[in-house]
Amino acid sequence: MIKVYGGIYSRASMVMCVLETLGLEYENISMLPRSEATQSEEYRALNATGKLPTLVDGDLVLWESQAILFYLARKYGDALLWVDTLEQEADLYRWSLFISNQIEAPALDMLLAVKYAQGEPDQSVIDAQVQTLARFLPVLENHLQGEEYLVSGKLTVADFHGATVMSWPKVAGFDYTPYPAIESWLRRILALPVQKKVRSQASV
């Protein structure tokens, strides 16, 4: 059976959302980021970075969440969560990589500034990331005008990855009101029943 290492408080949550949407059975080995379990010899033999998530599917051991999502959709999607043409595939890579290359680092820094704050979060760190986001969010806002999904007018793995990343700034109090198309797309993807299902099944 497919195994997913990592709990809901990690990028493993998007992997589990995709597995659930594809109707695949899997075993979740729940562990927290930066925990003893992720630094164990046994886990590092699967993923030498000591980070989450890792997917094991038969002989395949795969880490890097987007690689995992692309693999699952291509292997098991059968038209679900993936696109039809090479041009649409390029578009999916474009928006997924845009989010991971331009938005993920500032979004994560905002989340970590709150999560690992000793006392009050450092507002100057958060403000610096807001400045970075201000450069790229208008591009995404423009793209999402009148669109329900990130690419090809259908739900794809890009939405699960993108919405997870874009939810992190909210933890630091970021307000998407000036970006209504992003706000409504984010709300739509995070409200998918599968998100609730994954959260309710997980132990950590």
Ligand X SMILES: N[C@@H](CCC(=O)N[C@@H](CS)C(=O)NCC(=O)O)C(=O)O
Which strands make up the sheet holding 60-63, listed edge to edge? 26-29, 2-5, 54-57, 60-63
Q: Please, which residue, 29 or 179, has the CB nearer to ligand X?
A: 29
Q: Which residue number, 70 or 185, has a Cβ lying nearer to ligand X?
A: 70
116/193 with CB nearer ligand X:
116
152 near ligand X, judged by CB under 6 A:
no
Size of interface with ligand X, in residues (CB under 6 A): 9
Site for ligand X contains 10 (CB under 6 A): yes
Q: How many residues belong to the chain? A: 204
Give the x-and-dash track for 51-80 against ligand X (CB under 6 A): xx-----------xx---------------
Stretch that binds ligand X, among 48-56, 88-96, 118-126, 149-157 (CB under 6 A): 48-56
CB of 165 to ligand X, least distance (A): 9
- Report the alpha-carbon distance of residue 29 to residue 119 in Å, rounded: 31
33 binds ligand X (CB under 6 A): yes
Nearest to 6 by CA among 48, 62, 53, 64: 53
Q: Which is nearer to ligand X, 13 or 152 (CB)?
A: 13
Specify whether the CB–CB gap between 155 and 193 falls below 8 A. no
Number of neighbouring beta carbons within 10 Å of residue 203? 7
Cα 128 → chain centroid: 22
Stretch that binds ligand X, among 20-28, 50-58, 143-151, 180-188 (CB under 6 A): 50-58
- Residue 26: phi and psi, rounded to 5, are -155, 160
| AA identity, residue 54 | T
x/- string (CB under 6 A) for ligand X, residues 110-149? ----------------------------------------
Per DSSP, the three-state class of 203 is: coil
Considering the rule CB under 6 A, would residue 160 count as an interface residue with ligand X?
A: no
For the bound state, the minimum distance from the C-beta of residue 66 to ligand X, rounded and expressed in Å, comes to 6
Of 60, 57, 59, nearest to 18 (Cα)? 57
CB nearer ligand X, residue 179 or residue 189: 189
> Which residue, among 161, 165, 113, 158, has the nearest Cα to 136 in the 3D structure?
165
Binding site for ligand X (CB under 6 A): 10-11, 33-34, 50-52, 64-65
